[in-house]
């Protein structure tokens, strides 16, 4: 749309905005699944048109996940494997970085909902010694998440 001969950016014309969620803690698999299954497309955070980025689950410490969503179609798949130790042998935290694009976005509510999917202090304390069995989750076992040839 032109206003007085000036081009109006689509972001203004259609109310499109974006937000990026970043966190250093891994996601709890069940809480993240609940968010994706019931919250992502609920309208509670505005109209999310597209989201993408990288994520990490506490129960998959060696796998970086790829998050890709457009409309009602979402894919969450392994992107790469990694070593959680730095060159000095210290554990390194690999966090979340997810970008959301939509109309009428409510970034504060979205960030709060995603933060609630992260490990709590008590759960995070279990990650260090590797005692993760109690976290469970609806996703396949780690070996089933490795990229398959030709896929």
Distance CA 40, CA 148 (A): 27
Q: Which of 101, 131, 138 is nearest to 14 (CA)?
A: 101
Q: What is the largest CA-CA distance in the chain?
A: 64
- Indicate the range of 5-14, 16-25, 89-98 predicted with least confidence: 89-98
Determine the pLDDT at residue 49.
Answer: 95
Rounded to a whole number of angstroms, the CA Rg of the chain reads 18
Beta-carbon neighbour count of residue 120 at 10 Å?
A: 12
Q: pTM score, two decimals?
A: 0.75
Residues spanned by the domain of 79: 18-120
Residue 79: give its domain's CATH number. Answer: 3.30.1220.10
Quick one: tokens of 90?
Answer: 């210290």
Q: In total, how many domains does the chain have?
A: 1
Among candidates 42, 57, 53, which has minimal Cα distance to 18?
A: 53
Residue 56 has pLDDT above 80, yes or no: yes
* 97-146 per-position pLDDT tens digit: 999 999 999 999 999 999 999 999 988 887 654 555 455 555 544 444 44
14-51 pLDDT, tens digit per residue, is 889 999 999 999 999 999 999 999 999 899 999 999 99
């Amino acid at each position: 749309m032109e206003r007085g001969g000036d081009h109006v950016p689509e972001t203004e014309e259609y109310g499109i905005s974006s937000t990026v969620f970043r966190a250093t803690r891994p996601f709890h698999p069940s809480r993240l699944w609940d968010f994706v299954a019931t919250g992502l497309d609920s309208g509670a955070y505005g109209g999310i048109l597209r989201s993408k980025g990288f994520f990490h689950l506490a129960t998959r410490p060696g796998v970086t996940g790829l998050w890709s969503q457009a409309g009602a179609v979402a894919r969450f798949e392994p992107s790469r494997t990694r070593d959680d130790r730095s060159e000095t042998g210290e554990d390194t935290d690999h966090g979340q970085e997810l970008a959301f694009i939509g109309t009428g976005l409510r970034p504060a509510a979205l960030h709060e909902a995603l933060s609630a999917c992260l490990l709590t202090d008590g759960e995070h304390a279990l990650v260090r010694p590797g005692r993760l069995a109690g976290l469970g989750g609806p996703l396949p076992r780690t070996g089933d998440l490795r990229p398959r040839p030709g896929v």
